[in-house]
């Protein structure tokens, strides 16, 4: 199958794949913000953040789809998948972009894990004491109302 025909048949898949890559990056950033400053996260405006995520995803995906149509040639490719549908130069740029986003997501998730683990170690005893206090108060509350 010619690359141009291959790309025409799977460009929607390429578009959605690129969009999902950017979406996963924004999810990782969202989790980082939630872990780093939970109070600010709860009061932050979500509409501008969601709009930024959608616009960024559309821009990233649209750029690759348009470039894919522009640089598609008549070279025979087998099998017809996303990496083969792009020309060699575009595939190189796409690989760098996708790998960079994947590494960024991984690093952000590792930082999230580290921050959560650090917070848990710091508050382990405080949290456990708070749970015990809550159970104790709840049981006392129940005893007071049963004795009436």
pLDDT in tens, 15-73: 999 999 999 999 999 989 888 887 877 777 788 888 999 999 999 999 999 999 998 88
Give CA separation, 137 vs 14, 107, 148, in Å.
Answer: 57, 42, 17
Closest CA to 98 of 20, 29, 28: 20
Phi-psi map region of 80: left, alpha, beta (phi>0 left; psi -120 to 50 alpha): beta
pLDDT, residue 120, reads 72
pLDDT, residue 54, reads 94
């Amino acid at each position: 199958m010619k690359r141009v025909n291959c790309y025409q048949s799977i460009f929607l898949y390429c578009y959605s794949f690129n969009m999902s890559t950017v979406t996963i990056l924004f999810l990782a950033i969202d989790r980082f913000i939630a872990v780093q400053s939970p109070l600010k996260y709860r009061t932050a405006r979500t509409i501008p953040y969601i709009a930024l995520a959608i616009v960024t995803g559309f821009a990233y995906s649209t750029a690759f789809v348009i470039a894919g149509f522009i640089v598609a040639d008549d070279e025979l490719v087998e099998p017809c998948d996303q990496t083969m549908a792009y020309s060699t130069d575009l595939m190189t740029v796409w690989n760098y972009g996708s790998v960079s986003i994947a590494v960024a997501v991984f690093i952000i998730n590792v930082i999230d894990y580290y921050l959560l683990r650090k917070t848990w170690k710091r508050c382990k005893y405080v949290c456990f004491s708070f749970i015990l206090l809550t159970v104790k108060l709840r049981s006392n509350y129940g005893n007071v109302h049963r004795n009436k």
